[in-house]
Amino acid sequence: MAQDHDEFEYKKATGRIDRLEVENFKSYKGHQQIGPFKNFTAIVGPNGSGKSNLMDAISFVLGVRTQQLRGSLKELLYSNSDTAEQAKPRRGYVKLVYETEEGAEVQFSRVIQPSNAEPAAAYSSVYKVDDKVVTWDAYSKRLAGFGILVKVRNFLVFQGDIEKVASRSPEQLTQLFEQISGSDALAKDYAEAAAAKEKAEAAAGLLFAKKKAVAAERKQKKEQKDEAERHMAALQEQRERRLYYYLWQLYHLQQDEAQALAQQADLAAQLEELTATAAGFEGQLATQRQAHGGLVKERMRLEKEQKKLQKKQAAKDPAKARLREEASRLTRKIAAGNAEVEALKRRAKAQVKTLAKLKKDLQALQDSRAQLEAQGAGDDAGLQLDAAQLAEYRKLKGEADAKTSRLLQDRTTLEAQLKVDEGTLSRLQEAASLKADRLQGQQQQLEQLQQRLGGLQDELQQLDRQLAAKKDAAKSAQAEHRKASSQREYLLGKLREVEGYLSASKSVRQATDRERRLAAAAAKLKKEVPGVYGRVSELVRVTNRKYNLAMAVVMQRDLDSVVVEDRKAGFACIDYLKASKLERMDFIPLDSCEARPLPERLRQLGGTATPALDLLQFDPQYERACLHVCGNTIVVDNVSEARQLCYDSPDHYKVVSADGTLFKPNGTITGGRSGNLDARANRWDADEYERLKQEREKLKGQIDALPDVRACNVAAQAFAGEVAQLELQAKYKQAELKQSQEGMEALQREVLLLEKAASDASADPAVAQLQQQVAQQQDALAKLEARVNGIRDKMFAAFSKRVGVPNIRVYEETTLAAAEKLEADRQRIDEQITAVSEQVTYEEKQQASAQLAEKQAALAADQQQLQEVQQKEAELEEAAGQLTQQAQQLEQQMEQLRQQAETAQAGMKDLQAQAASYQKDAGKLRGGMAAAATAVEAVRSSRHGLMEAAMLEQVELPYRDAADAEEQDAADAMDVDGEDADGDTQPGSTHKGKVLDFSLLSDSDKGATGKKQREAVGKRLKEELDAAAAELGASAPNMKALEQYEAVREKEKQQTAELEAARKAANAASKAFLRTQQQRTQRFSAAFEHIKNSIDFIYKQLTRSAVHPLGGQAFLSLENEDEPYSGGVNYIAMPPTKRFRDMDQLSGGEKSVAALALLFAIHSYRPSPFFVLDEVDAALDATNVARVAHYIRSCTRRELHGGDAAAAGPSSGGKRPR
């Protein structure tokens, strides 16, 4: 928030102006010194002697704007009509030497200077403090540090300011007070905060209306949801079938997922093993690539060297051509060297960043190496082989594999045959089991169907009884509807009669349309919004009837204000009014309304004077509201007593007489009678009106207690609908009974066929033959395995004994795999550390700064060489021979490098071929894993879709404790707490520690593992489910109401959250507005209270005399006490023996004295160390001039003797015309 500099930088000081120095300013030619000034100095002289120019000089140096100094900057310079234009000065200044209370001098200067040497140049002013140029802000802050406020201009009064002050309107006085107090700096923040508050409140009201509309929509969707739930009660059997169908699908999806996960885990293990093997080849390939790259780089370097030598040789032909070429080459070399110097500078910066990154990477690799060593140390507890033992193991392993290759091949063939026979046997056994299960299931279904037939007959009888009962209830509802209608008509007639009496009652005030609207709105608020107590006129009673009119005047518009518990309730009421488009109302929050305690002295004024608060009877909880409404207002019996209390007493009270005449402290008197005022007064004189109102409320209560006619009608219609529904259900039950009888006959025929098929399957000879064949193959496979292990154990017997293991399989399955992986990881990290270390060493050696110095030295040498070219002609032949020899050596080295690079390239191709082979195998494994993962995800997706579908169809899947499920086979439970918990539980539900219960499934349906079997079972279950749905399809209601209701509820929650956020924003905006309002009011009130308390004393000092020793009276009042800056400031001055009158009706001298009193009081609030007055006594006679001079002299003396100048007036003298 912006802060006013005067408010926070003002410091009271007691220094003075020592002297003025002017140069070429107005009538002062050249350099002139004026002063030193005394503590009280009067400047006198005839007209045109330069008094006003001195005033302008002081105003100019103290920062007053040029527009107020009777001329532009150029016109302020010294000018004489006899002086030629070219001889006129183009520069001038005014310097004020200020002496602080410690005796130190501070020099303030303002210089006028042109922008250029042209005659038509513009002029500007420069500010200096102690001969140092400063900005205007620093200049004004330094002045404010001595109590000199340029903006408020608290140090001088211009000629004519007295007349301006005397003629100011209340609004203009308010602007003056805002400048003096610094509250005008908050005007912009105040307006912005008010606009933000209004905008936030409007947004909250709009959201409240939206929330109300959503609530109505939710109510409608709730009715549709209830209807859907009632319909679902009739679909219980269909739900049971649907539950069974979902459980059957979920059970088989779980089996598929388990198989896919097992396949995925097997492929992952194979991929891990293959990846570890391929890592070694990748390391070798990287090393070979690095070596090959080094050879290629070296060869390229030699090629560049060779090209340079060839260029040098070509440049050494004829002497003259060589000299020209050498000079050109050196010139280009110097230019390239300069460019290279700049490149080296950039490279030095980049090299620092590169070294930091390389060292960071090296440290990370070393940390990884240490962690790997720690891991290897932790694994040393297992068996470790040295290099020799490892070589021996590999040799023996190769010999063992070669020796048992035939046995291993026979074992593979036998395993394949065994797998085929076992699959055939399993299929035959499953087929027999399925037939038996099918037979058992059909027999159970036959028994259930027989029981269902008996249940359907009982249900049909129950429906007949219910139908008869509902018909009787429908007749009773219609009779209740007729009775409620007749009673309502009778009570409504009585209510119309009472309301007619109320309208015709002469003892009751005739309320206006607006008052009726306000009363209705208050009643709605009290009913709808918590924390609303009612209107003020309803909560208080006047103790004495004769003061009704006076109290109506005291309360004025607050009679219709609504008392609420706190600000929150007030904002809620405002939101309700906006949403309902009701009239604006005022609200008085008990927790934050302004309520000052009633001073006890108001009860001791005497006469008939009584505080307005004491004339009211109210509940103690509403005391703050009554204090806020009544304030310190006094009520008296007659007008004369009211006038005396308001104007003749030391404290100016706000007084109301019994006839309604209002006397305000600012001199305003309001009186007269009006119908509206009488109507307000009659609010507390309506006993008959209240009795009629109570009777009306009683009748309304009886009407409200009657059964709702519409509800009775709806109930009768509901009973009729239930009767029709029961008749339809009875019809459906009869059709279902017939269909069940037909189904039982078909099921009996199917059971006979299944019994015959099961008997044939149990006597099949192929099953026994396959079982005997499988047993023989398993025995042969075990013997082959024993022979292979025996051969390997015999070949590794000595080796196993040396390394300390029972047999070589123990080492192969544990230690060897881990050791090989650890060694491969260690070798890979060591290679990376070596590469990064070499790169760091290389970068450190490539010092760009050293190269830069060398390059600069080389440039100097080239320049020197350019001058000495002619001296080296004899040495060129020998140099040419050396260059030829060097070129031959470079050619030999390049040939050697080429051969080495070809050898390295061939090795790289072999390694790349092996790596590609491994990558191809790994790709196949990854493809298999991806397919397995896709299968898992497909199963999980299907399962998740089933769970979501079950939730949407409101199918409650059964669960049981996971601890009980662990004792059974994994295929009988679906764990919802493990990795796939999201897929095993219904979306939106929580079943921690629970698993799905598949006990409802029959064994035959669980055993349908084949694709065709699953399709057959699924088709059967789906047909049964579709048949049940088709029977109820014609009467199905809107089942989407469940989803729509939840969506509307979410929308309502969102609207509630948005409304709460908008209300919080409105509260925040209101608080920000109140903070700004409070700050602005405090600043304004501080200045106003000080000036108000000082002005009466100063005015008495300026108007007292021997005849009138007490002097006159002067006081200030506010038109708006709550927001003083929004209204005017009334200044009332009553000279001795004069009655009260407006400022415009005073004489010129009286206005001047009153204006001087106001200026001196304003100066006392923020006094400057000096006060300059310019012809302030122009409109005063000799007597008043003497009084003003006496007052100024007395203030100056008090200042010199340590008195309180702030309360007495100016602290220094001023300029006088005489």
Distances (CA, A) of 25 to 75, 514, 720, 736, 919: 9, 69, 108, 119, 97
Q: What is the pLDDT of residue 159?
A: 65
The predicted-structure confidence for 138-176, as pLDDT tens digits, reads as follows 888 888 888 787 776 677 777 667 777 767 788 888 888
DSSP assignments along 694-723, one per residue: HHHHHHHHHHHHSPPHHHHHHHHHHHHHHH
**Helices (H), ranges, 1104-1178:** 1148-1165
Q: What is the pLDDT of residue 681?
A: 67
Q: What is the pLDDT of residue 1178?
A: 73
Question: Phi, psi (5° rounding) for residue 997?
Answer: -100, 110
Q: Which two tokens stand for residue 451?
A: 């029981």
Residue 121's contacts (CB-CB under 8 Å, 6 or more residues apart) are 114, 115
CA 57, CA 37: separation in Å to the nearest integer? Answer: 15
Q: What is the pLDDT of residue 109?
A: 93
Of 523, 533, 503, nearest to 582 by C-alpha is 523
Q: What is the pLDDT of residue 1206?
A: 32
Q: What is the pLDDT of residue 588?
A: 92
Of 1073, 1069, 1116, nearest to 1097 by C-alpha is 1116
CB 656, CB 635: distance < 8 Å: yes
- State pTM to two decimals: 0.36
Residue 166's contacts (CB-CB under 8 Å, 6 or more residues apart) are 1143, 1151, 1152, 1154, 1155
Q: Which two tokens stand for residue 307?
A: 């090209």
CA 1118, CA 312: separation in Å to the nearest integer? Answer: 101
The helix/strand/coil state of 77 is strand
The helix/strand/coil state of 406 is helix
Question: Phi, psi (5° rounding) for residue 1133?
Answer: -125, 130
Q: Which two tokens stand for residue 406?
A: 């035939």
Please, how many CA atoms are within 13 Å of residue 949, restricted to the half-sphere of its CB?
A: 14
Residue type, position 1106, single letter: A
**Helices (H), ranges, 953-1035:** 962-965, 981-984, 1003-1006, 1011-1032
Q: What is the pLDDT of residue 564?
A: 92
| Burial class for 648, CB neighbours closer than 10 Å (0-12, 13-18, 19+) | exposed
Dihedral angle sign, alpha carbons of residues 369, 373, 375, 379: positive
Q: What is the pLDDT of residue 974?
A: 40
| Burial class for 1195, CB neighbours closer than 10 Å (0-12, 13-18, 19+) | buried
DSSP assignments along 913-973, one per residue: HHHHHHHHHHHHHHHHHHHHHHHHHHHHHHHHHHHHHHHHTT----EEEHHHHTTS-GGGE
Q: What is the pLDDT of residue 10?
A: 63
Q: Which two tokens stand for residue 108?
A: 């303030």
Residue 438's contacts (CB-CB under 8 Å, 6 or more residues apart) are 754, 1004
Residue type, position 136, single letter: W
pLDDT means per 10 residues, the chain with 1218 residues, are 46 81 86 85 81 83 74 77 61 89 88 80 86 88 81 71 76 81 81 86 83 80 72 67 77 80 82 75 71 74 73 60 62 70 71 77 80 65 66 78 78 81 76 74 75 77 80 78 77 74 50 73 87 88 84 84 90 88 88 85 85 88 88 89 82 85 85 69 60 76 74 71 74 74 76 74 72 82 80 78 72 64 75 77 67 74 70 62 72 75 73 71 74 78 78 77 60 40 46 74 78 80 75 64 77 83 86 86 85 86 82 85 84 82 76 83 80 78 83 68 37 34
CA 1170, CA 1180: separation in Å to the nearest integer? Answer: 23
Q: What is the pLDDT of residue 1084?
A: 86
CA 89, CA 25: separation in Å to the nearest integer? Answer: 10
Beta strands 662-663; 669-670: pairing state? antiparallel
Run of H or E residues at 1133: strand 1129-1134
CB 1192, CB 1205: distance < 8 Å: no
The helix/strand/coil state of 474 is helix
CA 1202, CA 810: separation in Å to the nearest integer? Answer: 109
CA 657, CA 647: separation in Å to the nearest integer? Answer: 14
Question: Phi, psi (5° rounding) for residue 12?
Answer: -75, 135
Number of neighbouring beta carbons within 10 Å of residue 754? 17
Please, how many CA atoms are within 13 Å of residue 226, restricted to the half-sphere of its CB?
A: 5
DSSP assignments along 1110-1130, one per residue: T--EEEEEES-SSSGGGS-EE
Dihedral angle sign, alpha carbons of residues 741, 743, 745, 748: negative
Q: Return the C-alpha torsion angle 389, 395, 398, 399, nearest 10.
A: -110
| Burial class for 481, CB neighbours closer than 10 Å (0-12, 13-18, 19+) | buried
Q: Which two tokens stand for residue 440?
A: 């058992």
Q: What is the pLDDT of residue 235?
A: 67
Q: What is the pLDDT of residue 674?
A: 67
CB 299, CB 897: distance < 8 Å: yes
Q: What is the pLDDT of residue 689?
A: 63
